[in-house]
Every structure is written in C-alpha cells, then in structure tokens.
C-alpha cells in the first residue's frame, strides 16, 4: 500500500468520511510522558502496580525501572489524535480498538502517534462511514512502542450539512 505524506498537525477542522482515502497518514504533535502523568493515572485508574509507581522495586523487574501504564499511553494517544482537529465535528463514534504493547515507554520519553488509513467503508445509512486506522505510538528514537487498529465512524458531508440546515431552521445549532 502506498502511503501519503503525513497531514499537517492541527491545521484545519474535521474531515468528513468522503475525504479519507486509503494510504492517508495522520501524524500528531509529540508529547513527553512525565512523572506526574504516572502518578495522576495511578490515582484515577486505581492501578498502583509497583511497575508503574515504585522506582526501587522496579529496578528488580524486567525493565529495570518504572514504565508508563499501557492504558495511560493509549489515552494520551487518543488525545493526540483529537488534538489534530482532523476529527473535529465529524467523528460519530470510536467503535473498536485493538491494542498491542510492543515496547515500554518510560517517564521522560516523548511520543508521537501515527495513524494510517487502511480501510474506508460506507455505512448503508449514508449518514456516516467507517474508516479503519492502523495506529503506531513511536518514541523519540522512532521505536514503535504501541501498535493497534482503530475503527471510527465519521459523518458524511451531505448528511452533516443537512442536519445543520435543519437545526438552523429550528433555531438550534448542530454540533
């Protein structure tokens, strides 16, 4: 499959289903994982596993130091995707997510998310379509640390514009 150059980060509003093509690549901004991220995620999730919270006991473990929670990284990756604004106002639902943790991410690592469009499937209602994205979280050295597949429903342009017109006639505003 031929891959297009990454889209610019945060340069425009949401893309409609019809605007996605197989081979498109979306590259996000980068973000550094901090000590505070690990502490806050442990508190929110209740996952106080020593591997994530105790530096001394982690030295005896397989990674020789603390690593970030896998779900913390996936949550940050989702946020990075949203911050591109590629899905702004056009995402109907995230319908599936398959995640594979391949390499550890440590406090101080800087990560970037890459999303490659691998499938574009219209939904029979014609109001939305499903795109499948291959996701890769890479660290500052270009090592793929998390891989996966996301299934996303996106609004079709015609249906979204019709809904906005209908809402405007009724005195409301469609989101």
pLDDT at 11: 43
What is the rounded CA–CA span in Å between residue 85 and residue 11? 8
* pLDDT surpasses 50 at 1: no
Pairing of strands 144-155, 128-138: antiparallel
pLDDT at 174: 52
Tell me the chain's radius of gyration from C-alpha atoms.
19
In the block, tokens 């009724």 appear at 170
Stated as kind and residue range, the H or E segment containing 97 is strand 91-101
pLDDT per residue as tens digits for the range 31-83: 999 999 999 999 999 999 999 999 999 999 999 999 999 999 999 999 999 99
| Assigned CATH class of 6-169 | alpha beta
Other beta carbons within 10 angstroms of residue 5's beta carbon come to 8
Confidence of residue 172 (pLDDT cuts 50, 70, 90): low
* pLDDT surpasses 60 at 175: no
pLDDT at 122: 85
* Upper half-sphere CA count for residue 2 (Cβ side, 13 Å): 2
pLDDT per residue as tens digits for the range 110-126: 999 999 999 999 877 77
What is the rounded CA–CA span in Å between residue 30 and residue 27? 9
N-to-C CA span, the chain? 35
Q: Any idea where the domains of the chain sit in the sequence?
A: 6-169
pLDDT per residue as tens digits for the range 4-43: 555 544 445 699 999 999 999 999 999 999 999 999 999 9
pTM of the model: 0.84
Confidence of residue 133 (pLDDT cuts 50, 70, 90): very high
């Amino acid at each position: 499959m031929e891959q297009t150059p990454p889209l610019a980060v945060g340069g425009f509003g949401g893309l409609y289903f019809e605007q996605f093509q197989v081979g498109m690549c979306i590259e996000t901004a980068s973000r550094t994982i901090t000590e505070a991220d690990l502490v806050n995620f442990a508190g929110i999730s209740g996952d106080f596993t020593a591997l994530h919270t105790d530096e001394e006991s982690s030295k005896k473990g397989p990674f020789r130091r603390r690593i970030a929670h896998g779900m913390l990284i996936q949550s940050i990756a989702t946020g990075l995707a949203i911050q591109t604004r590629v899905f702004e106002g056009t995402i109907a639902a995230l319908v599936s997510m398959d995640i594979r943790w391949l390499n550890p991410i440590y406090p101080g690592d800087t990560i970037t998310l890459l999303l490659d469009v691998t499938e574009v499937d219209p939904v029979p209602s014609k109001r939305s379509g499903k795109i499948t994205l291959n996701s890769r979280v890479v660290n500052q050295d270009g090592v793929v640390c998390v891989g996966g597949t996301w299934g996303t429903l996106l609004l079709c342009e015609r249906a979204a514009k019709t809904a906005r017109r209908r809402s405007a006639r009724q005195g409301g505003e469609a989101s």
